[in-house]
């Protein structure tokens, strides 16, 4: 928001970015909040660990976002020739960055990369928000919303229990939920 690029935006470009922030953060954060319920229900030992130690919430937020990865991929265009892992990439080539795959990489997150681990030491290394100049501008807000949700649930000793299979969004880009039947209980 404080960059020179923002200062020079015309009104329509600024409005377009504002709409992107509002709309872009809606599905992704909502799907991550649903993943709180679904993921912690799938991994009850991790839920218990979190319920017993709310100081783990900030790290748990990162691992839930990593595990959920609300956007499956993003496309980029190479700006220069390079070689990546032995693969020749030429300037102008279109590349698909599979965030879902990167965030389950066992060489980075360990053999339990398909699991939520609320005290995972490197949970922040996820790429769910992209990286560098392409990092999601709403990343901090999303983290804050999910943190507040978990903090308020902890204060109320509230547990969300999944009572049926999730209905997923039928999309290759948005990795999300259409419906998740739950009940709420105290612990």
Query: Residue 100 corresponds to which tokens in the numbers above?
Result: 């879902």
For 4-186, which CATH superfamily applies?
Cytochrome P450 (1.10.630.10)
| 17 — pLDDT class (breaks 50, 70, 90) | confident
Cross-strand pairs, 88: 83
User: Which of the given ranges, 5-19, 46-60, 65-79, has the highest pLDDT on average?
Assistant: 46-60
Distance CA 14, CA 11 (A): 5
pLDDT over 80 (residue 101) = yes
147-171 residue pLDDT tens: 999 999 999 999 999 999 999 999 8
pLDDT of residue 48: 98
Residue 82 confidence (pLDDT): 97
More confident residue, 1 or 17: 17
Q: With 80 as the cut, is the pLDDT of residue 21 above it?
A: no
Q: What is the 3-state secondary structure (H, E, C) of 35-94?
A: HHHHHHHHCHHHHHHHHHCHHHHHHHHHHHHHHHCCECEEEEECCCCEEECCEEECCCCE
DSSP H helix total and E strand total for the chain: 7, 8
Distance CA 112, CA 90 (A): 35
pTM (two decimals): 0.86
């Amino acid at each position: 928001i404080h960059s020179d690029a923002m200062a020079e935006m015309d009104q329509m470009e600024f409005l377009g970015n504002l709409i992107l922030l509002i709309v872009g953060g809606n599905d992704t954060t909502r799907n991550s909040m649903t993943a709180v319920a679904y993921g912690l229900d799938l991994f009850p030992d991790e839920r218990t660990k979190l319920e017993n130690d709310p100081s783990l919430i900030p790290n748990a937020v990162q691992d839930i976002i990593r595990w959920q990865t609300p956007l499956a991929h993003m496309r980029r265009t190479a700006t220069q020739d390079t070689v990546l892992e032995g693969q020749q990439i030429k300037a102008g080539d279109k590349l698909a960055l599979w965030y879902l795959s990167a965030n389950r990489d066992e060489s980075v997150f360990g053999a339990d990369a398909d699991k939520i681990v609320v005290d995972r030491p490197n949970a922040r290394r996820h790429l769910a928000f992209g990286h560098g100049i392409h990092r999601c501008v709403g990343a901090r807000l999303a983290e804050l919303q999910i943190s507040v949700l978990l903090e308020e649930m902890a204060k109320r000793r509230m547990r969300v229990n999944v009572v049926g299979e999730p209905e997923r969004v039928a999309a290759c880009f948005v990795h999300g939920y259409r419906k998740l039947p739950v009940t709420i209980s105290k612990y």
